[in-house]
Amino acid sequence: MGVKVREKPPGSGVWWIFINHHGRRRAKKVGTDEKLARDMARKTEARLVLGDLDLDAENGSRIPTLKQYVNGWKEGDGTLNPGWLDKYARLALKRSTCDSYEKLLNGHILPELGSLPLNQITSRLVGDLIVKKFKQGLRSQSIKNIKNCLSSILRYAHRPDGYIEGNPARGIHVPKPELEVPKREPDPLTWEDRQVLEDCFQEHFPKYYPLVLAGFRTGLRIGELIGLQWQDIDFRHRLIYVSRNVSRGKVTTPKSRSGVRQVRMTSQLAEELEALLTGRKEEKLKRGWTEVPAWVFCNEQGGYLNYYNFIPRVWNRAMEKSKLRRRTPHDMRHTYATLRLSKGDSLAEVSKEMGHSTPDITYRTYYKWLPKESRTDIDELDNPQPSATYTQPTKEEGANHVG
């Protein structure tokens, strides 16, 4: 049992009392008078001791439901509280992440838990939700996204808002079934198929050949390719600085912090982009543009390419003409990774240039394409090596060695 006084949010000058009585929690907004809040807290605690306080009858002390906390709600006195979406998500999250979270909330979370007050959502209920989603046939990654979304909301409800004592979704593990296969396996092109597709673009869609060449030679995501500007290209050192991504028609940052990176250019790609820049300067004069468009791969008006126009009008037609098995632009990235790894390039180096947060991600995605043959001579173990620096420790040394 306890009654606490807190300023919420910290530094706001607004004081609340929080009641925790026999596992039931309530919160009541007092106002800007700290002395009044502490006086009310003492009286409330005294009533709890005497047993004459009905928590359910305290209209102003109700903790918001999950749905209210997400979308916003009104207090008993008419005060309007902005919801988690407006107060935090749309300010702190990338637009694509926020859009995904809203879909998860409306499709999976709020229908199950939305009517519950925040303090009634327990770790067990979160675990039950995970089990239910598995039974509905959702994949482990989709369920993990649901759990992460819910955890983010409850983390804010705990701090800084103080409606709950802790985050019940924290630490809950979403298992990955042993027999679950990836939704889509990487489908990279071989060296020969890559050449066929590049030749197809060069012959039938020459305007987009530099884009495809860059995709196969750098491993950039298609949104990162579309987001490239000339200021990102260092021709002297043959480097591309990746700092931008175009997603769902909006210019944003790369997928993760590790996505901001430098990627080396091959000689062929550097020459092609230099030729493209020269041609763009000539086009500027013909079109009467005041300056060369900032985007490396621009549209007819000088803006960045529209991905949803590029796919049906260019990419799909090129795939048909090439007579290759259907691939997506993301398979250019897969091709870059698998060709480099198959020829023995360092896993850590490939991972870094692809913008993965750890080499483990690269390994788990592309381990099938790692060289199968060993590059060391195992028979060396059969022969004595006089030059070897390792020697067997003496009995005394071994006794003194720990670990």
- Three-state SS string over the chain comes to CEEEEEECCCCCCCEEEEEEECCEEEEEEEECCHHHHHHHHHHHHHHHHHCCCCHHHCHHHCCCEHHHHHHEEECCCCCEEECHHHHHHHHHCCHHHHHHHHHHHHHHHHHHHCCCEHHHCCHHHHHHHHHHHHHCCCCHHHHHHHHHHHHHHHHHHHCCCCCCCCCCCCCCCCCCCCCCCCCCCCCCCCHHHHHHHHHHHHHHCHHHHHHHHHHHHHCCCHHHHHCCEHHHEECCCCEEEECCEEECCEEECCCCHHHCEEEECCHHHHHHHHHHHHHHHHHHHHHCCCCCCCECCECCCCCECCHHHHHHHHHHHHHHHHCCCCCCCHHHHHHHHHHHHHCCCCHHHHHHHHCCCCHHHHHHHHHHHCCCCCCCCHHHHHCCCCCCCCCCCCHHHHHHCCC
Find the mean pLDDT for residues 360-370: 91
Lowest mean pLDDT among 70-74, 265-269, 344-348, 378-382: 378-382
The residue whose two tokens read 């493209």 is 276
Banded pLDDT at 402 (limits 50, 70, 90) = very low
- pLDDT at site 84: 94
CA geometry: angle at 91 spanning 87 and 95, to 5°? 125
For the cut 90, the answer to whether the pLDDT of residue 181 exceeds it is: no
Banded pLDDT at 403 (limits 50, 70, 90) = very low
Whole-number mean pLDDT of the chain? 88
CA nearest to 329, candidates 315, 346, 318, 339: 315
Banded pLDDT at 396 (limits 50, 70, 90) = low
- pLDDT at site 60: 42
Looking at mean pLDDT, say which of 58-67, 187-196, 359-368, 369-378 comes out highest: 187-196
CATH code, residues 65-183? 1.10.150.130
- pLDDT at site 309: 94
For the cut 90, the answer to whether the pLDDT of residue 58 exceeds it is: no
- pLDDT at site 393: 57
For the cut 90, the answer to whether the pLDDT of residue 200 exceeds it is: yes
Banded pLDDT at 59 (limits 50, 70, 90) = very low
Find the mean pLDDT for residues 24-43: 83
- pLDDT at site 225: 97
For the cut 90, the answer to whether the pLDDT of residue 56 exceeds it is: no
Entry pTM: 0.68
For the cut 50, the answer to whether the pLDDT of residue 29 exceeds it is: yes
Which of the two residues, 201 and 383, has the higher pLDDT score? Answer: 201
Residue 18 dihedral angles phi and psi, to the nearest 5°: -115, 125
Which of the two residues, 381 and 1, has the higher pLDDT score? Answer: 381
- pLDDT at site 193: 97
Encode pLDDT of 233-273 as tens digits. 999 999 999 999 998 888 988 888 889 999 999 999 999 99
Encode pLDDT of 141-168 as tens digits. 999 999 999 999 999 998 888 888 899 9
Residue 100 dihedral angles phi and psi, to the nearest 5°: -65, -40
Domain ranges of the chain: 1-62, 65-183, 191-369
| CB of 333 closer than 8 Å to CB of 208 | no
Superfamily for the 191-369 domain: Intergrase catalytic core (1.10.443.10)
Lowest mean pLDDT among 40-49, 224-233, 355-364: 40-49
